[in-house]
Chains A and B, each alone.
Chain A
Amino acid sequence: MRNRELGLIALALLIATAGFAAVQLARAQEFASSPLIAAAFFAGAYLVAHLVVRATLPDADPYVLPITAVLTAIGLIEIYRIDATLARDQGIWIVIGLVLFIGVIIAFRDIRRLETLRYTCGALAVVLLLATITLGAQVNGARLWIRIGGLQIQPGEFAKILLVIFLAGYLRERREVLAAPTRKVLGVGVPSLRHSLPLLIIAGASLVLLVAMNDLGSSLLFYVIALAMLYIATGRLLFVGLGAGLFALGAAAAVQITPHVQTRIDGWLHPWANEQAQCCYQITQSIYTIADGGVLGAGFGRGLILNSAGGTIIPFAQTDFIYSVIANEMGLVGAAAVILLYLLLAWRGFRIATTADDGFSKLLAAGLATAVAFQVFVIVGGVIRLLPLTGLTLPFVSYGGSSVTANFAIAGLLLCISQRANRERV
C-alpha cells in the first residue's frame, strides 16, 4: 500500500516539475531565480511525509497524500506564475502544512484519543469564531481574518475542523436519543429540547456568523457540515429538511441587513448589467478569464492573467479566483481534472468512513470529506457563477497559510482513521 503511495507521489512530483518548467519557459525573461531548488524542496517535504506515514500508519489509505501533492503543486505553479514572492510564501506554508500533517498522524495515530477531546474541540471552535468576529479585519468586504503580528490568520479554516471533531463525538454519543423521538408534535416525532439544543445553537450560530462575518460562504459551509453529519448520525431527512428551510429563511432575512452579501447576490443574478461596478467586476472578469482558456487552455504561464500594472486582472486571483486562473491556463481539461481530483479525494474520505467500524470514525471521516467537497463546491460555484460569490479558499490550491495547513490537518486525520479501519480488517 505504501509503495503505491510512493509511486503516486513520484507521479505527482513529475507533474509538478513539468508544470514549473513550462512556466519557466514561458516567462524566462522575468524570473532569474531557480525554481528547481524550490521544486526539490517540495519533493523532499513530501518524501519525508511519506516516510513518516510508512513508519506510523503502514495500512493507511495510499491515495490521499498523492492527491494533495498534485493539488498543492498545481496551486503552487499558478501562484508562481502570478507572483514569485507569493509562491515562495506558499511553498513555506506547504512545508509547514506537511509538518502539521506529520504532527497530526503521530499524535492521533490512535484516532480514539481525539474522541475524548470532543468538548475541548467544540469550545476551541467557538473561541476561534468569536475571536474572528471581535478582532477580525475586513478583507474584500468579508470579516474572515485576524491579524497577529505580521501574520494574517483565517481562524474559520481551523474552527471548521474542530467543529467536525466535536460533532462527530457529540453525535456518536447522542445519536440514539436524537434519532428516537420522545414526543410527537403534529404527528411528527421530535427529539427532546435538551438533546436537540446544541443543534439549534449551531443553526443560530451559523446565521449569526453570516451577519457578523459578512460572508455567506463560511456560514453556509458550517451549516451544511452540521446537517450532513446529523443526517449520517440519525438518518432523519426531516432534520435536514427542517434545518435547510430554517437556514434559508434566516439567510434571506440576514441578507437584507448585510449590504456586502446583498452586493454579492446582485453580482450573481445580474453580472452583465454593470460590469465595472463593485458587484460585478470580479465575477465578469473571472468568467472572461475562464472562457478565454477554452478546452485546452493557454498553457502554464501563457494565459493573460496580469494587467499592465503587474497586478492580477481579477482581484484576489491567487486566493478566491485561483480556479479561474487554472481554467484559463489548463483549459477545460485541466479544470475538470482538478475537480475530479477533489471528487477522488471525497470518495476516499467517504470510503474511509464506510470501512471504519466505530461511529466516531465514520462521522469524523464523512464530516471532513464533506467539508472539503462542499467548500470546493461553494468557491468554484462562486467563480463560475453557479452560486453567489463567497470568500472561501480552494483547498490545497489557493494561496494562504491557514487554508493550506488546515487542509493538511484534514488529510492527516483521514489517514489516521483509515489506518485503524484497515488494520482491523486485515
Chain B
Amino acid sequence: MNRRIGNLFIVLAVGLLALIGMTTYWQVWARSSLEARQANVRLVYRDLAIDRGAIVSSDGVTLAESKPGTLDGRTVYYRHYPTAGLAAQLVGYSSLLAGRAGLERSLDPELTGSTGDLAGVVNSFDRMKGDTVRGDQVVLRLNAAAQKVAMEQLTNLGVRGSVVVLDPSNGGILVMASTPTFDPNTGLEKALSDPGSPLLNRATQGLYPPGSTFKVVTAASALDAGVVTPDTKFPGPACIDSGGQKLCNYHDHAYGPHNFGYALIHSINTTFATVGADLGRDKLEATMRGFGFFSRFPWDYPPEQSLPSGIFNRKGNLVSADAPIDVPRVAIGQERLLATPLQMAEVATAVANGGQIIQPEPVQEVRAPDGSVVRRPSPVYLGRAMTTETAATLRGLMKQVVDEGTGSAAAVAGLDVAGKTGTAETGRAGKNDAWFIGFAPAEASRFAFAVLVEDVDGTGGDVAAPIAAAVLRALTAQTT
C-alpha cells in the first residue's frame, strides 16, 4: 500500500510543480507582451499616475487640468476640462476609454513630462521609483474670451461651422471654434456616435468649397504673373461660355465694363473665369501651392486631424497633375475645389502680412512644473505666397469689400476691417456654405480670420461677415 501512496504523491507533486511552471510562464515569459495589450487595465491606470500638465489660454482660462484622486492606495490624476465644449476640438481629450486627440495628443510628451531631453530622462527615473511625474503646463495663444464669442455666434444660429483667427505676425491661433461641440468630461461616448460629428474639428478637418473667397488666390496669382493689373478692363456680361458650358454671375447680374479691382470687390464670376483661363492651370496651381494648398500644414497638431486643401476627385483624393480640371471654375472657387477654414485663414494671413505663409502655432509657451519657461515657439515661415506689392494691392481692394462691397456687415466701429465674402452652392436647393475671410486692421493687421457656416440660406455677407465682426469686437476689447 505504501508504494501506491508514494505513486499518488508523485502524481500530485508533478501537478503542483506544473502550477509553478505555468506561473513562471506568465510572469517571466509572457509578461512584456501582456503588458502591452490594450485591454490590460493596468496600462491605462499607469497613465493615471502622471500629473498631466494643464492647458490654459493666453487670457488665463484653464481649458484642461488634472485633479488628484486615489486608486488602490496610490495618488492618481483624472483629467478635467473646466470649459467643457469651449475649444474641445482644438484642445482635444485624454481619456481612458477613447484615447487622445487634439493638442492633448500632439503635446502629450510635454504634458506628461516624457520628452526626449534631460528633463524627460529625469522624469523616467521618477516613474521607475514610483514617484509622481509632473508634466509641463502649456499656455496657448488662444484668446478664450474671443473663442467664447465665436462659439456663441455659431451656436446661437444653430449652425455647423467654424471660426479661425490667426495672428498674421506669427501664425498664433487666437480663435479656433467648431460647432457642434462636445463636453470631453462627460460626452465623449455620445459624441462618437453623434451624427453631427462634434468630434470633427471643422477648422482643420472640414473641407468646403471656398466659393468667391478663393478669388483672392486667383487675383494674387494673376497680379503676380502680370496677367492683369488692378486697372485691366473687362466687359462684364451676365454669362460667358466656358468650355461649352454657361458660367454666370450671382443672380445672372450683368455688370458692364469695369476694371479688375472692381471685379474683386463685387465678386464678378465672369471676369475671374476669364482671368483663370488666361492664367492657366500651372500658374494657378503654383500659387495655390505657395498658399499651402495640396499639403498639410506641418503644425503642432495630430496629422490625421489636419487635412490638406485642394482639388479633389470623386473618390475624395487630391487630383493628380495629369487629370483634367476646369481651370476657369477653379478660379472662382468651384470645380471640386475644397478648402479648410484654417487654409482660408492662412490666405487672409498672407495678404495681411505682405505675402508670407506662417505655420499655425497653437502654443504661446510651455512651462515646467517650477514655472520656468521651457519652450516659447518663434514664427516658422513656410514660404512666400505672393509679392509684397500684390499683397498691398489686395489689402486695398479687400478693405473696399467691407467699405462698399459685399462684406459691409463685417464693419466694426473704430477698426479697419478688410475681407472677402464667399457663397458656395452646396448642391442642395437654396443651401449655401457661407464664408467670410479677412483681416483687421487693414494695415499692420493683428487678426486674420476665416468664418465658415455650413448649409444656410443666406450669403457669406449676410451670415458669415457679422460673425467675423462680433469676434473682432471681442478681440479688440481684450487687447486695447
Residue ranges of A at the interface with B (Cβ–Cβ < 8 Å): 26-27, 29-30, 228, 231-233, 235, 275-276, 284-285, 287-288, 290-295, 301, 303-308, 313, 327, 331-332, 335-336, 339-340, 342-343, 346-347, 350, 353-354, 359, 362, 366, 369-370, 373-374, 376-377, 380-381, 384-386
Contact with A along B12-31 (1 / 0, CB 8 A): 11011111101110111011
- Whether A295 and B28, one on each chain, are in contact in the complex, defined by CB atoms closer than 8 angstroms, is yes
- Whether B8 and A228, one on each chain, are in contact in the complex, defined by CB atoms closer than 8 angstroms, is yes
A376 to B2, CA, bound (A): 23
Assuming the contacts A291-B35, A385-B22, asked whether A30 and B73 have C-beta atoms less than 8 A apart, the reply is yes
- Whether B30 and A291, one on each chain, are in contact in the complex, defined by CB atoms closer than 8 angstroms, is yes
B6 on interface, CB distance cutoff 8 Å: yes
A338 to chain B, nearest CB (A): 10
A377 to B22, CA, bound (A): 12
The chain A residue sitting closest to B96, CB to CB, is A308
Across chains A and B, which 10 residue pairs bring their CB atoms closest together, nearest first? A306-B72, A350-B9, A275-B39, A373-B12, A291-B34, A27-B73, A377-B15, A354-B2, A332-B27, A291-B31
Assuming the contacts A276-B39, A291-B30, A331-B27, asked whether A354 and B15 have C-beta atoms less than 8 A apart, the reply is no
- Whether B16 and A342, one on each chain, are in contact in the complex, defined by CB atoms closer than 8 angstroms, is yes
A48 to B15, CA, bound (A): 35
Assuming the contacts A304-B42, A386-B18, asked whether A332 and B23 have C-beta atoms less than 8 A apart, the reply is yes
A327-B27, A362-B2 known, 13 other contacts, Cβ within 8 Å:
A26-B73, A231-B4, A290-B26, A291-B27, A295-B28, A313-B41, A331-B27, A347-B9, A366-B8, A377-B12, A381-B15, A384-B26, A386-B18
Assuming the contacts A288-B40, A386-B19, asked whether A362 and B1 have C-beta atoms less than 8 A apart, the reply is yes
- Whether A232 and B42, one on each chain, are in contact in the complex, defined by CB atoms closer than 8 angstroms, is no
A256 to B200, CA, bound (A): 49
A130 to B76, CA, bound (A): 49
A365 to B204, CA, bound (A): 76
Residue ranges of B at the interface with A (Cβ–Cβ < 8 Å): 1-2, 4-6, 8-9, 12-13, 15-20, 22-24, 26-28, 30-31, 34-35, 37, 39-42, 45, 69, 71-74, 76
Identify which of A228, A287, A294, A306 contacts B71 (C-beta below 8 A): A306
Query: Which chain B residues lie closer than 8 Å to A275 at the CB level?
Result: 39
A308 to B73, CA, bound (A): 10
A336 to B39, CA, bound (A): 27
A336 to B27, CA, bound (A): 11
A141 to chain B, nearest CB (A): 22
Identify which of A301, A308, A366, A376 contacts B16 (C-beta below 8 A): A376
A296 to B9, CA, bound (A): 29
- Whether A339 and B22, one on each chain, are in contact in the complex, defined by CB atoms closer than 8 angstroms, is no
A368 to B342, CA, bound (A): 77
Assuming the contacts A285-B41, A287-B34, A385-B22, asked whether A370 and B8 have C-beta atoms less than 8 A apart, the reply is yes
Assuming the contacts A285-B41, A290-B23, A373-B15, asked whether A353 and B73 have C-beta atoms less than 8 A apart, the reply is no
- Whether A384 and B9, one on each chain, are in contact in the complex, defined by CB atoms closer than 8 angstroms, is no
- Whether A327 and B23, one on each chain, are in contact in the complex, defined by CB atoms closer than 8 angstroms, is yes
B42 to chain A, nearest CB (A): 6
The chain A residue sitting closest to B24, CB to CB, is A332
The chain A residue sitting closest to B31, CB to CB, is A291
Assuming the contacts A276-B39, A350-B5, asked whether A343 and B72 have C-beta atoms less than 8 A apart, the reply is no
A305 to B2, CA, bound (A): 44
The chain B residue sitting closest to A335, CB to CB, is B23
The chain A residue sitting closest to B3, CB to CB, is A235
Query: Which chain A residues lie closer than 8 Å to B8 at the CB level?
Result: 228, 231-232, 350, 366, 370
The chain B residue sitting closest to A359, CB to CB, is B1
Instruction: Tell me what chain A mostly uses at the interface: helix, strand, loop, or mixed.
Output: helix
Query: Which chain A residues lie closer than 8 Å to B18 at the CB level?
Result: 381, 386
A306 to B74, CA, bound (A): 10
A284 to B37, CA, bound (A): 11
Query: Which chain A residues lie closer than 8 Å to B30 at the CB level?
Result: 291
A313 to chain B, nearest CB (A): 6
A145 to chain B, nearest CB (A): 26
A235 to B4, CA, bound (A): 7
Query: Which chain B residues lie closer than 8 Å to A336 at the CB level?
Result: 20, 23-24
A27 to B42, CA, bound (A): 19
The chain A residue sitting closest to B48, CB to CB, is A308
A285 to B17, CA, bound (A): 23
- Whether A370 and B12, one on each chain, are in contact in the complex, defined by CB atoms closer than 8 angstroms, is yes
The chain B residue sitting closest to A313, CB to CB, is B41
Identify which of A27, A228, A231, A380 contacts B19 (C-beta below 8 A): A380
A29 to B68, CA, bound (A): 15
Q: List 10 A-B contacts (CB under 8 A).
A: A275-B39, A304-B42, A306-B72, A339-B20, A346-B12, A369-B9, A370-B8, A376-B19, A381-B15, A384-B23
A307 to B8, CA, bound (A): 42
The chain B residue sitting closest to A353, CB to CB, is B5
Assuming the contacts A366-B8, A373-B12, A380-B19, asked whether A332 and B28 have C-beta atoms less than 8 A apart, the reply is yes
Query: Which chain B residues lie closer than 8 Å to A339 at the CB level?
Result: 16-17, 19-20, 23
- Whether B73 and A301, one on each chain, are in contact in the complex, defined by CB atoms closer than 8 angstroms, is yes
A381 to B22, CA, bound (A): 8
- Whether B6 and A354, one on each chain, are in contact in the complex, defined by CB atoms closer than 8 angstroms, is yes
Query: Which chain B residues lie closer than 8 Å to A303 at the CB level?
Result: 72
- Whether A362 and B45, one on each chain, are in contact in the complex, defined by CB atoms closer than 8 angstroms, is no
- Whether B27 and A366, one on each chain, are in contact in the complex, defined by CB atoms closer than 8 angstroms, is no
The chain A residue sitting closest to B27, CB to CB, is A332
- Whether A343 and B13, one on each chain, are in contact in the complex, defined by CB atoms closer than 8 angstroms, is yes
A295 to B45, CA, bound (A): 21
- Whether A343 and B26, one on each chain, are in contact in the complex, defined by CB atoms closer than 8 angstroms, is no
Query: Which chain B residues lie closer than 8 Å to A354 at the CB level?
Result: 2, 5-6
- Whether A232 and B5, one on each chain, are in contact in the complex, defined by CB atoms closer than 8 angstroms, is yes
Query: Which chain A residues lie closer than 8 Å to B2 at the CB level?
Result: 353-354, 362
The chain A residue sitting closest to B74, CB to CB, is A304
Assuming the contacts A291-B35, A294-B27, A313-B41, asked whether A307 and B16 have C-beta atoms less than 8 A apart, the reply is no
- Whether B23 and A294, one on each chain, are in contact in the complex, defined by CB atoms closer than 8 angstroms, is no
B20 to chain A, nearest CB (A): 5
Most chain B CB inside 10 Å of its own CB: which residue of A291, A292, A340: A291
Query: Which chain B residues lie closer than 8 Å to A27 at the CB level?
Result: 73
A365 to chain B, nearest CB (A): 8
A374 to B19, CA, bound (A): 11
The chain B residue sitting closest to A379, CB to CB, is B19
Assuming the contacts A308-B71, A350-B9, A385-B22, asked whether A284 and B39 have C-beta atoms less than 8 A apart, the reply is yes
B321 to chain A, nearest CB (A): 47
A403 to B9, CA, bound (A): 23
- Whether A346 and B19, one on each chain, are in contact in the complex, defined by CB atoms closer than 8 angstroms, is no
A353 to chain B, nearest CB (A): 5
The chain A residue sitting closest to B34, CB to CB, is A291
A97 to chain B, nearest CB (A): 23
Most chain A CB inside 10 Å of its own CB: which residue of B8, B20, B72: B72
Identify which of A308, A385, A386 contacts B69 (C-beta below 8 A): A308
A376 to chain B, nearest CB (A): 7
Query: Which chain A residues lie closer than 8 Å to B71 at the CB level?
Result: 304, 306-308
Query: Which chain B residues lie closer than 8 Å to A228 at the CB level?
Result: 8
B219 to chain A, nearest CB (A): 58
Query: Which chain A residues lie closer than 8 Å to B69 at the CB level?
Result: 308
- Whether B26 and A346, one on each chain, are in contact in the complex, defined by CB atoms closer than 8 angstroms, is no
The chain A residue sitting closest to B21, CB to CB, is A386
- Whether B27 and A293, one on each chain, are in contact in the complex, defined by CB atoms closer than 8 angstroms, is yes
- Whether B45 and A304, one on each chain, are in contact in the complex, defined by CB atoms closer than 8 angstroms, is yes
A39 to chain B, nearest CB (A): 20
Assuming the contacts A292-B35, A308-B69, asked whether A374 and B12 have C-beta atoms less than 8 A apart, the reply is yes
A386 to B23, CA, bound (A): 9
- Whether B4 and A292, one on each chain, are in contact in the complex, defined by CB atoms closer than 8 angstroms, is no
Identify which of A231, A284, A305 contacts B72 (C-beta below 8 A): A305
The chain B residue sitting closest to A337, CB to CB, is B20
Assuming the contacts A26-B73, A232-B8, A291-B31, asked whether A377 and B23 have C-beta atoms less than 8 A apart, the reply is no
Assuming the contacts A332-B24, A350-B5, A362-B5, asked whether A304 and B34 have C-beta atoms less than 8 A apart, the reply is no
The chain B residue sitting closest to A81, CB to CB, is B73
